[in-house]
Amino acid sequence: MAKNKGKIFEEDFSKSTPENWFCHRLKDTAQSYNNSEKTKFSWDNPFDYFLFNSKTLYCLELKSTCQKYMGFQENEDDESSKMIKWHQIKSLTEASKYQNIVAGFVLNFRLSDSEQITYFLDVQNFNKMKDSINKKSFTIMDAVLYGAKKIDGFKKRTRWHWNIKEFFETYNN
């Protein structure tokens, strides 16, 4: 069975994390695999990853798309099938209130087989963008205009490597 491109991006992200950093991927629930309404008993994960470099805890939701935009739920009553869920926005916003925690979205745009571009957008800037753009989705340009920072990466042979250490070490400075 072919692996989901989003899961491949998550694997590449994890493998790009320095060995001496704590990187933990929360396990997906059964509901998240097929968006089934039959699994009402399962919970919604607040976000995908905890990443810790001995100074800062990063709470991250990773998103990957082959589109030039990403959709988001506007509020808790929005039941539309969007890439970014309301509970993820809410959880990251809550996590960001604590000292030494940075919370946000890692946004991966797969432009072609040989070109991917990835950004980090902290949740405060995401919320500003969401509240300002008057759309239910955003483009790469929207994200950049609201403070998304590029995470450099390169394609090895078949898989990508992201410069996680360099990005997050300079992000807080």
> What is the reported pTM?
0.89
**Three-state secondary-structure class, residue 37:** coil
Structure tokens at 12: 């590449």
| pLDDT in the model for residue 76 | 87
**79 neighbors 103 (Cβ within 8 angstroms):** no
Q: Quick check: 34 pLDDT over 80?
A: no
Rounded Cα gap, residues 131 and 142, in angstroms: 12
45 vs 24, more confident: 24
| pLDDT in the model for residue 33 | 47
Q: Quick check: 29 pLDDT over 50?
A: yes
Round the average pLDDT of the chain to a whole number and report it: 89
- Among 12-26, 41-55, 83-97, the range scoring the smallest mean pLDDT is 41-55
Rounded Cα gap, residues 71 and 154, in angstroms: 26
101-112 and 115-122 strand pairing: antiparallel
List, in order, residues 6 or more apart from 58 with CB less than 8 Å away.
49, 50, 51, 52, 101, 102, 103, 104, 168
| pLDDT in the model for residue 107 | 98
